[in-house]
Amino acid sequence: MTAICLCYEVHEPYQLRRYTVFDMGQNSIYEDDDHNCDAMLRAARLCYLPANELMLKLIRRYGKDFRVSFAISGTALDLFEQYVPEVLDSFTALAQTGCVEFVAETAPHSLAFLYSRQEFDRQVQAQAARLKKLFGVKPVTFKHTECVYNNDLAAAVAELGFKAVLAEGTDQVLGWRSANYLYQPVSAPELGLLLRNTSLSNDIGLRFSDTAWPAWPLTADTFASWCHGLADSADVINIINDYHVFGLRHSRESGIFDFLEALPEALLARKDVHFATPAMAVKQFKPVGKMDIPQFISWEDESGDLTAWLGNDMQKDAIHALYALASRVARSGSDELRHDFDRLQTADHFRHMSTKWFSSEAPDRPSPFGSPYDAYITFMNVLADLEMRLKRMNL
């Protein structure tokens, strides 16, 4: 039987306020509380609460025949707890059904693996422990920030005890092979590698509201027919998207909620198709081969690389300056410094500095700054104040 694996990234960042040189050394209030509160109230109203309510409705309707997975960042959990605890309650209700898998990632949704293995391990272990405490099950699947992946990451994930890892099924990685099978990383044969079906995922994630798209308006029956067309030559079809597709990237008026409600029935109409979570898939299927991915890949645009976060000198300067402070922050023993340092690692800060994407950023994840340069200056001012605090501790 062919498995349909639905997985959604649930991430919200803490946005920085306009922190100037006149603030440095005077106060260490880095985040824009008003903006963060407003953004979370809007996201909860338009996306999280109605989407989770619908997911729960589908589970009650189909029982164990419907499965879904969520990769929730630590910053999203923090924001839910701070501003919209009812959203966290709705995820808890989903967890209690036994039909949901919670996938681990780095707590601050960071790129720490590229710069500090110690930071990466600490963040992943902290997030895994938090997910277990909140939802009662230790995560066994890992998805890195924005599906960033390579051979070294797979080895690290295996060392941390995970059984499965998610990655982007880019053409340059796949070649003649299909994303719709389970693979083994060459660096960690004991780990199951599940690759995102880029085309089907983007049909929902990017193209659903595009009235110029030939397949618009996309119906559940049409999408199910595409999946059914692959079923005879596929073990597992991984459809991985940002949870913002529901209500934020695609408005309710686009029909996205109606599409989701109709999708399970349309897919399950074929008896050899079923829903599974990543953990279920790696138990159900045998790997068809090994996958060698030495270069970093991600799910960002057609390039599938790291240029969304590390594509210009501002981004590189900011992230190198940040991780240059890692050992000093660790030696400080200060929970407050550690908290601020972790929040500064969130990948969104570097995305806001991108000149590549400035003219076409996702409307559901806009930059709070007028330009990439403004984002860079603000971040470096905050980092300068953080270093002042370390110097005051003789570090």
Residue 3 backbone dihedrals phi, psi, to 5 degrees:
-95, 135
Helices marked H in 18-150:
33-43, 49-62, 74-83, 85-95, 117-135
- The whole-angstrom separation of Cα 299 and Cα 163 is 21
Beta-carbon contacts of 214 under 8 Å, excluding residues fewer than 6 positions away, are none
Measured from the Cβ of residue 113, the count of other Cβ atoms closer than 10 Å reads 23
For 189, other C-beta atoms within 10 Å of its C-beta total 12
Q: Are 11 and 248 in contact (CB under 8 A)?
A: no
Cis peptide before 217 (omega within 30 of 0): yes
| Residues annotated as part of the active site | 146
DSSP 227-277: HHHHGGG-SEEEEEEEGGGBTTTB-GGGTHHHHHHHHHHHHHTSTTEEE--
Enumerate the β-bridge partners of residue 35: none
Roughly how many angstroms between the first and final C-alpha of the chain, as a whole number?
A: 58
